[in-house]
């Protein structure tokens, strides 16, 4: 925890001073207005967006894994992201712009609820079926979105959703991501309930909880956090999947205990990947999702193999 927090602070400082335009501590101390301007309109928003997106998406994955009782569930493997895209497309069609937030949240929430109900009604022998079903479900929704976009000549509007990129985030673009903060607080308040639901329906009912109600609250939290991230930043594959699993590997599945560390590690991972993407072909940048995919994919395979070994 302390160690994670310390790394995060260091990385954050580093992130502020990496970029094409020179920004030095000295010019900031000398109150150079250009330097401060750069810091406040570009570097700081970028840093905040990274931290909020990384933490928010990781918490979303953590909650998703508990309410669906599956270690491989995450917003990217449950159709949440694709349903948010569908909401965006519907908003574009019905209102002429993609600003109808409520519609995006609503479709994401409904889609995720449908997925959760679906996997609850089918008993799977192998846990890996759940994310597979989720990915298939997501792909069907995505095909639908692409079809609508093609029909109405809106394919270009979709392209900025797929690849995550922090390079174009300026002051005024990212503030919606702050939604992750109230969502994280609510998650913390409901942590015990969500954990109990994660153990099972009869377990939760025995403790006097209304199972369906807690699942719905969880789904709403997950959908809102995931949908805002994908809208503003783009897809960050594997993040919601691997970060909670790494934390759970070391300290179990107590949601309340894991929440802060999951948020910190999620922010750290995205920050590291973003730094790499900015430095590797400096002064140009690569999309951050490339590095998250590479690192996330590798960690995911390791997790899968570890699980296989445990099952035997």
Partner 1 sequence: MIKVENINKQYAGKLVASNINVAFEKGKVTSIIGPNGAGKSTLLSIMSRLLDKDSGSVYVDGTELEKWATKTLAKRLAVLKQTNNLNMRFTVKELISFGRFPHSQGKLTDTDRQVIQHAIEYLDLQVIQDKYLDNLSGGQKQLAFIAMVMAQDTDYVLLDEPLNNLDIKHSLQIMKNIRRLAHDMNKAVVIVIHDINFASCYSDNIIAMKNGEVAIAGSVQEVIRAPVLESIYDTPFKVVTLDNQNVCVYY
Q: Is 109 in the site for partner 1 (CB under 8 A)?
A: no
Strand, helix or coil for residue 309: helix
Cα separation, 191 vs 62, whole angstroms: 11
Q: Does 127 bind partner 1 (CB under 8 A)?
A: yes
Residues 6+ apart with CB under 8 A from 223: 75, 80, 83, 84, 105, 108, 109, 111, 112
Does 293 engage in binding with partner 1 (CB under 8 A)? Answer: no
Q: What is the largest CA-CA distance in the chain?
A: 65
Distance of alpha carbon 189 from alpha carbon 117, whole angstroms = 24
User: Which of 11, 35, 64, 248 forms a contact with partner 1 (CB under 8 A)?
Assistant: 248
Pick the binder of partner 1 from 66, 107, 112, 187 (CB under 8 A).
66
Q: Does 198 bind partner 1 (CB under 8 A)?
A: yes
Query: Under the criterion CB under 8 A, does residue 156 sit at the interface with partner 1?
Result: no
- Distance in Å, CB of 148 to partner 1, minimum: 37
Between the two ends of the chain, the Cα-to-Cα distance in Å is 32
What is the closest distance, in whole angstroms, from the C-beta atom of residue 15 to partner 1 in the complex? 33
Q: Which of 11, 38, 49, 71 binds partner 1 (CB under 8 A)?
A: 71
Retrieve residue 306's tokens.
């570890």
Cα–Cα distance measured from residue 243 to residue 104, given in angstroms and rounded to the nearest whole number? 25
The C-alpha atoms of residue 232 and residue 290 are separated, in whole angstroms, by: 17
Query: Does residue 287 bind partner 1 (CB under 8 A)?
Result: no
Among 70, 76, 80, 142, binds partner 1 (CB under 8 A): 70
Determine if residue 31 is left, alpha or beta; phi over 0 gives left, psi from -120 to 50 gives alpha, anything else beta: left
Q: Which one of 192, 275, 295, 300 is in contact with partner 1 (CB under 8 A)?
A: 192
Q: Which of 51, 55, 73, 191 binds partner 1 (CB under 8 A)?
A: 191
Find the shortest distance in angstroms from Cβ 65 to partner 1: 9
Judged by the rule CB under 8 A, the positions of this chain that interact with partner 1 are: 66, 69-71, 127, 191-193, 195-196, 198-203, 205-210, 248, 252-254, 256
């Amino acid at each position: 925890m302390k160690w994670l927090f310390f790394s995060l602070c260091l990385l954050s400082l580093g992130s502020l001073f990496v970029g094409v335009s020179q920004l030095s501590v000295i010019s900031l101390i000398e109150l150079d207005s250009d330097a401060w301007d750069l810091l406040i309109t570009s570097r700081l928003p970028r840093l905040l967006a990274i931290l909020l997106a990384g933490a928010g998406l990781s918490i979303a994955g953590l909650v998703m894994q508990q309410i669906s009782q599956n270690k491989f569930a995450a917003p990217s493997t449950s159709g949440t992201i694709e349903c948010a895209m569908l909401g965006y497309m519907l908003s574009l069609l019905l209102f002429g712009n993609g600003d109808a937030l409520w519609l995006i949240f609503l479709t994401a929430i409904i889609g995720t609820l449908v997925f959760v109900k679906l996997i609850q009604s089918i008993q799977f022998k192998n846990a890996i079926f759940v994310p597979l079903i989720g990915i298939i479900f997501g792909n069907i929704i995505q095909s639908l979105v692409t079809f609508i976009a093609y029909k109405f000549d809106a394919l270009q509007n979709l392209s900025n959703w797929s690849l995550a990129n922090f390079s174009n985030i300026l002051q005024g673009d990212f503030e919606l991501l702050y939604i992750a903060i109230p969502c994280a607080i609510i998650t913390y308040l409901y942590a015990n309930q969500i954990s109990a639901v994660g153990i099972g329906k009869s377990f939760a009912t025995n403790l006097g909880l209304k199972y369906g109600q807690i699942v719905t609250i969880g789904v709403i939290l997950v959908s809102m956090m995931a949908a805002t991230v994908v809208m503003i930043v783009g897809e960050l594959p594997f993040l919601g999947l691997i970060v909670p699993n790494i934390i759970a590997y070391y300290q179990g599945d107590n949601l309340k205990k894991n929440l802060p560390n999951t948020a910190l590690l999620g922010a750290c991972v995205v920050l590291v990947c973003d730094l790499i993407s900015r430095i590797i072909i400096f002064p140009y940048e690569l999309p951050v999702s490339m590095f998250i995919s590479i690192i996330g994919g590798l960690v995911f395979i390791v997790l899968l193999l570890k699980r296989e070994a445990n099952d035997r």
